[in-house]
Chain A
Amino acid sequence: GDSVTQMEGPVTLSEEAFLTINCTYTATGYPSLFWYVQYPGEGLQLLLKATKADDKGSNKGFEATYRKETTSFHLEKGSVQVSDSAVYFCALSDRLNQGGKLIFGQGTELSVKP
């Protein structure tokens, strides 16, 4: 079945460092891809998304490009801040959105030190 694999955490960076969190997927058809962020003590909120190959999602300085040839959707940010400390989840959905179901990766905890 469909699945999502993320790089393991926790990841610890200094402020202003470059961030990459790897995400690869296996899926039949053409899924939509998402990055969700969970700040401490809160629910998940959508960070960015891409719905077809070569689309680039971006928000709050984060970017990810939907790469069909490598089945990847890596999250990047050029300069992280302490406020970016959170858990990041990569997810995919069937492009027809049958039932509003997402398949999540295991999550990557990011800690940014001043």
Chain B
Amino acid sequence: NAGVTQTPKFQVLKTGQSMTLQCAQDMNHEYMSWYRQDPGMGLRLIHYSVGAGITDQGEVPNGYNVSRSTTEDFPLRLLSAAPSQTSVYFCASSPRGVTSGSTGELFFGEGSRLTVL
């Protein structure tokens, strides 16, 4: 019963390097999203997707890129890492809105801790 799986769990990058955080879910959820968690700021939405082929920006999208080629996968790409992107990243998924019985609950992965030097 995997749920939402994120890899890697830990990563150290140098400024300017690029990398991809992987996220996969096996619950056939239409919605997927990426958040970053920083001390004293809660979780902030980076990008989200309402289905395969459809993505949109959240509150803090700059420096990140996403794509959604399948229902299951939603990778987050850091194009040129900066120290300000040092954070814990969470991927989440949820079923479609209230018409399918969903009440907005998100299912989270265990997080990916990224340090940019």
Interface residues of A (CB under 8 A from B): 4, 32, 34, 42-46, 49, 51, 89, 93-102, 104-107
Chain B positions within 8 Å of A, measured between CB atoms, are 4, 29-33, 35, 40-45, 48-50, 56, 58, 90, 92-94, 96-98, 102-106, 108-111
Cα distance A4–B25 when bound, in Å? 28
* Known contacts A4-B42, A44-B90, A100-B93, then 20 further A-B pairs from the complex at CB < 8 Å, ordered by chain A residue: A43-B4, A43-B108, A49-B105, A89-B42, A89-B43, A93-B103, A97-B94, A97-B102, A99-B31, A100-B30, A100-B32, A100-B104, A101-B45, A102-B45, A102-B104, A104-B35, A104-B43, A104-B44, A106-B41, A107-B40
Q: How far is the CA of A94 from the CA of B96 in the complex (A)?
A: 12
* A105 with B108: CB separation less than 8 A: no
Contact B97 A98 (CB under 8 A): yes
Cα–Cα distance between A97 and B106 once the two chains are bound (Å):
10
Q: Which residues of A contact B42 (CB under 8 A)?
A: 4, 89, 104-107
User: Which B residues are in CB contact (< 8 Å) with A45?
Assistant: 108
Q: Which residue of B lies closest to A96 (CB)?
A: B97
Q: Which of B29, B45, B49, B56 has the most CB of A within 10 A?
A: B45
